[in-house]
Amino acid sequence: MTLVYEGKAKRVFKTEDDNIYRIEYKDEVTAGNGAKKDKMAGKGRLNNLITSYFFERLIQEGVPSHFIERTSETEQLVKKVTIIPLEVVVRNVAAGSIVKRLGFDNGQVFDKPLVEFYYKKDELNDPFISDDHVKLLGLADDKDIHELKRQALIVNETLIKIMNEMDLTLVDFKIEFGKDSDGNILLADEISPDTCRIWDKATNENFDKDVYRNNTGSLIDTYTKFYNKLEAL
Ligand code: TMP
């Protein structure tokens, strides 16, 4: 099958249907825009299982997405979309780059969720950009920006609900959107411990890629523990 795109964590293939792609989750893990890189057996399977679970729950909540179905432990079928080159980050609690950049205390709870845009461009290191930059770069117009933020906040509500059921705090996460051939904005990409910060409510233990970024634990053990909690719901 023809490879359409290979990213750091996934491969996208054409299928017999022009409107459907097959995504294969890889065992590669990277941090710092590829500065740190490793191969970990089982990582693709875990992220595919977790992403598929989240997207199924989001569909139940009425969030339109590219997800069709999981077809194996490491693969899923999705609707073909053109990815909007924006990382949409939602933050409920201060951690990561916002602590370094703006001096918030790590763990400070925000009164309301904050939505940010980052420009997906490896050569520029995915910089933070304003709504006006988004428009100037021609990435989205006012109507699309409003829709991206609206959908991001619904995703946040749904993920918070799921995390609460697991006694976990959703600190922040990154999502991406695409447009289908009719111009509809659909949630795309993945939602996994690679793309979220998740803390144990009791101990603040990380259930996310920070264990790899900061060398504080085994990524596979952490993601397995997270998936086992999810499966037990
Ligand atoms: P940050 O604190 O580094 O800006 O990250 C915010 C959230 O977005 C965190 O949950 C990790 C996620 N994220 C990605 O999934 N991919 C990325 O390239 C970056 C920078 C962050």
Q: How far is the CA of 183 from the centre of ligand 1 (A)?
A: 27
Ligand 1 pocket, residue 197 CB under 6 Å: yes
Q: How far is the CA of 233 from the centre of ligand 1 (A)?
A: 26
Last residue of a domain, one of 79, 112, 138: 79
Q: What is the pLDDT along the chain (233 residues), one digit of tens a residue?
A: 899 999 999 999 999 999 999 999 999 999 988 899 999 999 999 999 999 999 999 999 999 999 999 999 999 999 999 999 999 999 999 999 999 999 999 999 999 999 999 999 999 999 999 999 999 999 999 999 999 999 999 999 999 999 999 999 999 999 999 999 999 999 999 999 999 999 999 999 999 999 999 999 999 999 999 999 999 99
Ligand 1 pocket, residue 212 CB under 6 Å: no
Give first-to-last CA distance, the chain, whole Å. 36
Q: Which two tokens stand for residue 202?
A: 């009791």
Rg of the chain, C-alpha, whole Å: 17
pTM for this prediction = 0.98
Ligand 1 pocket, residue 26 CB under 6 Å: no
Residue with tokens 């060398």: 215
Domain of 132, CATH number, reads 3.30.470.20
Residues 186 and 118 grouped into a single domain: yes
Domain residues for 28? 3-79
Ligand 1 pocket, residue 114 CB under 6 Å: no
